[in-house]
Amino acid sequence: MNHEIQELMELDKKHFLHPTSPVQQQQQDGPGFIFTKGEGVFLEDIQGRRVIDGMSSLWNVNIGHGREEMGEVAKEQMSTLAFSSCFATYSNEPAIRLAAKLAEVAPGHLSATFFTSGGSESNDTAYKLARHYWILKGQPEKKKIVTRTKSYHGVAMGATSATGLKPFRDFTNSLAPDFHYVDHFSPDALREFIETEGADSIAAFVAEPVQGAGGVHIAPETYFKEVRAICDQYDILFITDEVITGFGRTGTYFGIEHYGVVPDMMCFAKGVTSGYAQLGGVMISDQVHQAFKDHSTGTLLHGYTYSGHATACRVALKNLEIIEREQLIDNAKEMGEELLAGFQKLQSKHNLIGEVRALGLMGAVEIVKDQQTNERFATPLAPLVVTEAAKRGLVLRSVVFDGQDTLVFAPPLTINKEEIEQMMTILSETFSAIVPSEKTNA
């Protein structure tokens, strides 16, 4: 390892507190990869190692890496007007055009957007706007936010409190009040909760169309129709968190389209810019917007400095243009089928593989000790698979919450058949190389 790399490793350990990271491992080993370059589905690190980005980095680089035209529009926008405030009644053209474009592509009557800088801010915004809506409607006691077990909504205080995955909440010892969790696949659990607590205390129900960080859990076909009907029956706002599932990831523009229902609010981030700039937002329905128009006599007292950031919005517009021009949503659907077929083939070859699933380019592989009984290893094997796959050129992620032992996948929407085959070859070699240890078997 040359001197420059060694220096970077030391500086990383000393000065860079990584997000969602094993601190002691970082201190011991330094950064696993120092990436320097990206091209399509590939990433390259400072040592010249080339790997497939099987996670689109953080489920977000939908159009793939290294797009020059993204850099060009960012440069053009930054050289003309990088940023100007959108507070009060100030505006800028990219923000206006993006809000209009989103209204065009979003399902149903979702027609107005509040911009943020990412998914966590979008979720906190949605909870506040939902509660504000009920204040405006003269029902300020409607404030509980109901979310689901296994959900992930981010790390801001509201988003952490809404997150069903307990380890994220246990990281801190004081959370925002009025968040509640119900079983992630059961409309009955939602109905029961509402009947016990009283609909007049509940502002909104929040769900990811496909649970991502919780392990790529795909809801039963009728789940969201029933949920929509329950929310209508009890006058509760239905909010979808499309931070991962938005912008083509599942083979439709937005994940909820698979279920044929329309939410009252929709959080988005990640794929709106494919990571080329930081941007998120919340779309609201005509009905919610109307309440704001009818009753807001004062100021909408919620706004981030970067709400409507001109450069980020311009980058998002170009990103959406690329997604449409290259028909990446159709590709995600088609390649999603290839991905699932690849998983199934692997499953027949490797007895460590249990259930496999995918919706578009969002997939998961369960690791089991016994394919027949679905018995799990005492110590999850998925983290070892991730380490071994990375050595062989494939970046993945493991999910081990709640007794899970799961590998999750979300490659760029640009991926082709050959690249999926390459992923499968690496996975197959990885599984062949892994021998569960005594400890894992205990």
Contact residues for ligand PMP, defined by CB under 6 A: 58, 118-120, 123, 152-154, 208, 212-213, 241, 243-244, 269
Distance CA(354)–CA(375), nearest Å, equals 9
- Residue 425 amino acid letter: T
DSSP for residue 65: B
**Contact of 66 with 39, CB cutoff 8 Å:** yes
Distance CA(366)–CA(116), nearest Å, equals 34
CB of 212 to ligand PMP, least distance (A): 5
**Contact of 25 with 31, CB cutoff 8 Å:** no
Residue with Cβ nearer ligand PMP (116 or 285): 116
Beta strand 217-218 pairing with 210-211: antiparallel
Residue with Cβ nearer ligand PMP (5 or 58): 58
Residue with Cβ nearer ligand PMP (362 or 381): 362
Count of residues making up the chain: 442
Q: CB under 8 Å to 113, separation ≥6 — which residues? A: 98, 99, 102, 103, 281, 282, 283, 284
**The tokens 């050289």 sit on which residue?**
79
Distance CA(135)–CA(64), nearest Å, equals 43
Residue with Cβ nearer ligand PMP (187 or 275): 275
Residue with Cβ nearer ligand PMP (243 or 335): 243
CB of 276 to ligand PMP, least distance (A): 14
CB of 46 to ligand PMP, least distance (A): 25
Beta strand 237-241 pairing with 265-268: parallel
CB of 127 to ligand PMP, least distance (A): 12
CB of 23 to ligand PMP, least distance (A): 19
Residue nearest to ligand PMP (CB): 119
Residue with Cβ nearer ligand PMP (346 or 386): 386
CB of 152 to ligand PMP, least distance (A): 5
Residue with Cβ nearer ligand PMP (213 or 381): 213
Cα torsion angle, 104, 105, 109, 114, sign: negative
**The tokens 């499953």 sit on which residue?**
347
**Contact of 264 with 109, CB cutoff 8 Å:** no
CB of 292 to ligand PMP, least distance (A): 23
